[in-house]
Amino acid sequence: MQQVVENYWMFGAVCLVIALVLLRLLFRERITLQGSMSYLAFLVFLGLMAAFPNVTQKISMKLGFTLMSNFFFCAAIAALAVLHLRALVTLSKVHTRSIVLTQELAILQEKLERLERQQAQPLRAAQGN
């Protein structure tokens, strides 16, 4: 039993190390706060499951899982699905924003070309006289 409990703490320690790396990236502004909060919550959730295996076992049994490993994998897959959905939403927003920015840039470039043509006409007329 002692060996099993140590294994749970080892996984919790791995989750903690990954969370610390995530916080370091966050503080160095390599990643955004909004994108990393759900990932950090996921790591805390998995770490708590590993740190308190007896509570996790009771919860898994009450939810109808016969093996705690099945509950763990189900929770991990659900969390990864949420993270993936969040990434898709973010990518969609970035894609839409890049299209809008490209259109705005084309409009501004056309206006600039018009202004340059309007300013060039009086100069040509003055040179012609």
> Residue 90 is encoded by which pair of tokens?
């973010």
Residue 58 or residue 14, greater confidence: 58
What one-character-per-residue DSSP string does 29-90 give? TSS-HHHHHHHHHHHHHHHHHHH-HHHHHHHHHHTT-SSHHHHHHHHHHHHHHHHHHHHHHH
Query: Where along the chain do its domains lie?
Result: 2-128
Q: What is the pLDDT of residue 113?
A: 94
Q: What is the pLDDT of residues 45-88, one digit of tens each?
A: 888 888 888 898 999 999 999 988 899 889 889 888 988 888 89
> Does the global pTM surpass 0.75?
no
Q: What is the mean pLDDT of residues 117-125?
A: 80
Given its phi and psi angles, is residue 19 left (phi above 0), alpha (psi -120 to 50 degrees) or beta? Answer: alpha
Q: Are 57 and 5 in contact (CB under 8 A)?
A: no
Q: How far apart are the first and last CA of the chain?
A: 101
Average pLDDT over the chain, rounded to whole? Answer: 84
Q: 70-106 b/e with 16+ CB inside 10 Å = b?
A: ebbeebeeebeeeeeeeeeeeeeeeeeeeeeeeeeee
Give the Å distances, CA to CA, from 42 to 45, 97, 119, 125. Answer: 5, 28, 59, 70
Dist. CA 47–CA 19, nearest whole Å: 10
